[in-house]
Amino acid sequence: MIKKFGIGRDQLMEELNKNNIDNRPLFIPLHKQPIYNTNSFLPVAERLSSRGLSLPSSINLRPDDIEQVVKVIENCRQ
């Protein structure tokens, strides 16, 4: 995310949180889940997990909610 976007995922999450925009890491790799913990090294899954971000996506989002999310993200790029 840093190369193309300018800041890392965790920094973006902080900015979204400051603006009361729900967000969370995209996923935890399956091999890191307690029930499946195999101590495997799966670099692609780990890389995606460290970079992915889940943004608000409810069917109940209003256009002004979406615009606020976009505005905060755009401001982070500048």
What pLDDT is attached to residue 34? 87
pLDDT at 37 over 90: no
pLDDT at 78 over 90: no
- Average of per-residue pLDDT across 2-11: 82
* Residues whose CB is less than 8 angstroms from the CB of residue 44 and which lie 6 or more positions away in sequence, other chains included: none
Q: Which residue has the tokens 């996923």?
A: 27
**Domain boundary assignment for the chain:** 2-77
pLDDT at 15 over 60: yes
CATH class of 2-77: alpha beta
- Average of per-residue pLDDT across 41-47: 91
What pLDDT is attached to residue 5? 79
* Residues whose CB is less than 8 angstroms from the CB of residue 23 and which lie 6 or more positions away in sequence, other chains included: 12, 13, 16, 17, 53, 54, 55, 56
Mean per-residue pLDDT of the chain: 90
